[in-house]
Amino acid sequence: MAATLSQLDDGIVRGMAIGAVFTDYAGKINCLDFHRKEDLLVTSSEDDSIRLYNITSATLLKTTYHRKHGADRVCFTHHPSSILCSSRYNLESAESLRYLSLYDNRCLRYFKGHKDRVVSLCMSPVNDSFMSGSLDHSVRIWDLRVNACQGPFDTFLVGGDTAEVSDIKFSNDGKSMLLTTTNNHIYVLDAYGGDKRCGFSLESSPNVSTEAAFTPDGQYVISGSGDGTLHAWNINTIQEVLFLKSCF
């Protein structure tokens, strides 16, 4: 019987390999996000494109271009054809965060409040709220249905680390938070109290923003790095179980 998401173990993670390579981009990829339930992947690029892929068949489903605002960070909402996207251009217009429909390439809502580039987006796994972090030194909590932000609700330090936070993600069950900093430290926190569960470090990579993610079962953390390698750690044993070199 094929392994399900609840049956991931170190052997399965170590067996990961490159399954397909797409080279149709005219610029660097800024961000990518997997849908929590569907076999879909969305990416954003410096060529102002957003691309939607089926990861089971390794096929490109749709490409949209966003010349006015660009495409920086992207993240799926709960609907498979709706995403959140932050802007690369025209930030002074306060239209730095958009709710988009990929089905008909339409902007459903602007979220106004940030005064600088948004560098982190994270959708709640349990409701229509999401978080955004910006270079204006603010983190905001929003509801998809309204354009006014909420929060903050709590503030805490992580192990004395004073580096800036570059990315935040939640596990699918909403119990764990993944926090990445500008000095290439990765922390797994209790999402309710902010207590540190474990942490990992990568080699310093100047001018490169590191992004990490949970596996669907929340038991492993996977991260890219500035040298093009891919790393995976078991958060229970706190051991690295995968080191994969880029094909380029």
- Within 8 A by CB and 6+ apart from 242, the residues are 13, 14, 16, 222, 230, 231, 232
Helix and strand totals (H; E) in the chain: 1, 19
pLDDT at 182: 83
> Are 21-154 and 161-248 equal in CATH topology?
no
Residues 6+ positions from 203 with CB-CB distance below 8 Å? 184, 225, 226, 227
161-248 belongs to CATH 1.10.150.20: no
pLDDT of residue 84: 97
pLDDT tens for the chain, 248 residues long, are 344 455 789 999 898 888 888 888 888 888 889 998 899 999 999 999 999 999 999 999 999 999 989 999 999 999 999 999 999 887 776 678 999 999 999 999 999 888 888 888 989 888 899 988 888 877 888 999 888 787 655 566 666 677 777 788 888 888 898 988 888 899 999 988 888 999 999 887 777 777 888 988 889 999 988 888 889 999 999 999 999 887 55
Q: List 159's β-bridge partners, or say none.
A: none
Q: pLDDT at position 166, please?
A: 79
What is the domain partition of the chain in residue ranges? 21-154, 161-248
Taking only Cα atoms into account, the Rg of the chain, rounded to an integer number of angstroms, comes to 18
Question: Residues 58, 48: contact at Cβ < 8 Å?
Answer: no
Fold classification of 21-154 is Methylamine Dehydrogenase; Chain H (2.130.10)
Q: Is the dihedral of CA 99, 100, 106, 108 positive or negative?
A: negative
pTM, to two decimals: 0.77
